Amino acid sequence: HYTMIDRATDERWQDVDMERYADEVDVAIVGGGPAGLAAAIRLMQNAEREGAEIRVCVIEKGAEIGSHTLSGAVIEPGPLLDLFPDAIERGAPLKTPVTQDKFSILSKNSWLDIPELLIPMKNHGNYIV
């Protein structure tokens, strides 16, 4: 960690040429996960509706936008359709509706199915993507 070993004296950094990047934006959003992207999209939609020009920057520490997002491969379509009412026409992958929920506790050699009454999540109305 850079607070324990100064980069100026750490041999691992001697051939690394780092340049600080500076830019001017109206809004900087830290995190390229679902919430950060939704915030950026909504800000741009509102600005366009009001005829305003704004510059929004999404800063993500991962190699790609959303690369730290965990996915259960199930999407609730409501928030997506709020942001993009024409998402289905644009090709959003909402083709396979969830038909049932099943949770099991797994061990090395067997499993125990959890009764539906005790399942913490209900995916009715969601889609497998």
The per-residue pLDDT for range 29-48, each reduced to its tens digit, is: 998 888 899 999 999 999 99
- The model's pTM is 0.64
What would the pLDDT profile of 12-24 be if each residue is shown by its tens digit? 888 888 788 889 9
CA proximity to 32, closest of 73, 64, 56, 55: 64
pLDDT tens-place string over residues 51-78: 999 999 999 888 777 676 666 678 899 9
Strand 96-97: give its sheet, edge to edge: 74-75, 127-128, 96-97
Q: Identify residue 57 by its one-letter amino acid code.
A: C
